[in-house]
Amino acid sequence: MQTDSGKSLSARDKEVIWHPLTQHQTAGPALAIVRAEKEFIYDEAGNRYIDGIASWYTAVYGHSHPYIIDAVKRQMDHMDHVVFTGFTHPPAIQLAERLLQLLPQNQAKVFFNDNGSTAIEAAIKMAIQFFYNRAEKRQTLIAFEEGFHGDTFGAMSASGLSVYNGPFEDYFIKVERIPVPNQENFAQVKAQLLDVLKKGESFAFLFEPLVQGAAGMKMHWAEHLDALIQICKKHKVLTIADEVMTGLGKTETLFASEQLDHYPDMICLSKALTAGTMPMSVTTCSQEIFDAFLSKENAKGFFHAHTYSATPWACAAALAGLDLLTSPEMEANRKRINTQHLAFIEKMKNHPALINLRCNGVILAMELNVPMERYGELRDKLFAHFMQQGVCLRPLGNTIYVLPPYVTSDASLAKIYAAIESSLLLFGRG
């Protein structure tokens, strides 16, 4: 095995690695990152970038936070893996207790998985079996258009962003899609949902509450979503909030679901849960759902597991993350970033090159006022421009969004905003 050939890391990568979401015939070399600290990442040439997307919404307390790293190291010193069927361990118990204290009060049990997609898979399977256990067969999942829920089969079926799902569509589970509500279409969306519910075939409504991440940080009103959830509850259809992106302080509340009057029956969390350190996720549910699996019959239980369920090191990272999340310092940081985002919106709202400026908590998004070329040349040019400015942002089509680590300094925020402004001179119309 060749180990150190004098080639760059990017060159060695190209020889051996197949990257996710990548067309390798046309993609340029992958940039090798060798260090990450606070809101900064450093490449192999020593260039520093501000991580304006908190590493896919994970490293929200800043990269390599010493408090998180210490907690993981301490756990590493005395226990690695525990089989999670028939056995349990302190970090998992503590984490479940802490999460249930913070989540909407109807959440009663925590089921552990190992990534965002598998949290969704578990939720979908729980919802199907909830009805199966009552001898009801329900085969339809309701989901929003343009939702994104992951890349495993159930989660992929539920995702409305189907540009890349062509080869798999014939194998999907059955999904009825409704538009995301806004002021204009609200009555029509409600009517459409009712039409679907009347068929009596739906087991659950799955949604990203308030902000649809992969759709380009599209935002909708809590009031509208709440009405849809209320309708589902009336028709005894389960509701599943995919908070894999929104959870843990991204929006104005710790969980987007808190902004609703009617709480979802299940909530999925991942990404920021372990603060950018280790893969883990949870699917939480109400007591009613848990109780539907209790029986003298073994097979009515939920027979679903991942080998690395509730792995202790990840639980330790998550527990330390919750300490930080609920600290006054981090709360002040989230408010500070929200205030700065709103000031940027105020400053730019009449700029002819920008439309649809929006913000919820630490999430800021806007569209460049140019014809849509999703993932096309514009996106790549914008990305390159931001990186040249020392700012890592990953535009989606003509959508520019910022979701910085909560510890991002005012100076770094100013650099992010300046990079966006300078991009308008290059690419904006007008």
Ligand X SMILES: *Cc1c(COP(=O)(O)O)cnc(C)c1O
Q: Strands 399-402 and 363-368: what pairing?
A: antiparallel
Q: Cα dihedral sign for 23, 24, 27, 33?
A: positive
The Cα–Cα gap between 216 and 398 comes to: 9
Which of residues 281 and 340 has its CB atom nearest to ligand X in the complex?
281
Q: Is 116 in the site for ligand X (CB under 6 A)?
A: yes
**What is the per-residue binding string for ligand X in 190-229, x denoting contact by CB under 6 A?**
------------------x----x----------------
| Interacting positions 295-354 with ligand X (CB under 6 A) | none
Burial class (CB in 10 A: 0-12, 13-18, 19+), 394: middle
Which of residues 120 and 178 has its CB atom nearest to ligand X in the complex?
120
Which H, E and C letters describe the chain, residue by residue?
Answer: CCCCCCCCHHHHHHHHCCCCCCCCCCCCCCCCEEEEEECEEEECCCCEEEECCHHHHCCCCCECCHHHHHHHHHHHHHCCCCCCCCCCCHHHHHHHHHHHHHCCCCEEEEEEECCHHHHHHHHHHHHHHHHHCCCCCCCEEEEECCCCCCCCHHHHHHCCCCCCCHHHHHHCCEEEEECCCCCCCHHHHHHHHHHHHHCCCEEEEEECCCEECCCCCEECCHHHHHHHHHHHHHCCCEEEEECCCCCCCCCCCCCHHHHCCCCCCEEEECHHHHCCCCCCEEEEEEHHHHHCCCCCCHHHCCCCCCCCCCCHHHHHHHHHHHHHHCCHHHHHHHHHHHHHHHHHHHHHCCCCCEEEEEEECCEEEEEECCCCCCCCHHHHHHHHHHHHCCEECCCECCEEEECCCCCCCHHHHHHHHHHHHHHHHHHCCC
Applying CB under 6 A, among 133, 251, 270, 408 the residue interacting with ligand X is: 270
Q: How many residues at the interface with ligand X, by CB under 6 A?
A: 14
Q: Minimal CB distance to ligand X: which residue?
A: 116
| Interacting positions 134-163 with ligand X (CB under 6 A) | 148-150
Which of residues 115 and 157 has its CB atom nearest to ligand X in the complex?
115
Which of residues 245 and 353 has its CB atom nearest to ligand X in the complex?
245
Q: How far is the CB of 135 from ligand X (least distance, A)?
A: 31
Q: How far is the CB of 116 from ligand X (least distance, A)?
A: 2
Applying CB under 6 A, among 58, 107, 113, 115 the residue interacting with ligand X is: 115
Which of residues 271 and 334 has its CB atom nearest to ligand X in the complex?
271
- Contact region with ligand X (CB under 6 A), list: 114-122, 229-237, 337-345, 384-392: 114-122
Which of residues 144 and 417 has its CB atom nearest to ligand X in the complex?
144
Q: Is 49 in the site for ligand X (CB under 6 A)?
A: no
Q: How far is the CB of 56 from ligand X (least distance, A)?
A: 7
Q: How far is the CB of 213 from ligand X (least distance, A)?
A: 4
Q: How far is the CB of 328 from ligand X (least distance, A)?
A: 28
Which of residues 20 and 328 has its CB atom nearest to ligand X in the complex?
20
Q: Cα dihedral sign for 226, 227, 233, 237?
A: negative
Applying CB under 6 A, among 117, 333, 338, 412 the residue interacting with ligand X is: 117
Which of residues 256 and 424 has its CB atom nearest to ligand X in the complex?
256
Q: Strands 202-207 and 238-242: what pairing?
A: parallel
Q: Is 121 in the site for ligand X (CB under 6 A)?
A: no
Which of residues 274 and 338 has its CB atom nearest to ligand X in the complex?
274
Q: How far is the CB of 151 from ligand X (least distance, A)?
A: 6
Which of residues 271 and 306 has its CB atom nearest to ligand X in the complex?
271
- Contact region with ligand X (CB under 6 A), list: 26-34, 43-51, 111-119, 352-360: 111-119
| Interacting positions 234-263 with ligand X (CB under 6 A) | 242, 244-245
Which of residues 267 and 416 has its CB atom nearest to ligand X in the complex?
267
**What is the per-residue binding string for ligand X in 359-398, x denoting contact by CB under 6 A?**
----------------------------------------
The Cα–Cα gap between 262 and 269 comes to: 19
Residue (of 213, 255, 258) closest to 53 by Cα position: 213
Q: How far is the CB of 150 from ligand X (least distance, A)?
A: 4
Q: List contacts with ligand X (CB under 6 A).
A: 115-117, 120, 148-150, 208, 213, 242, 244-245, 270-271
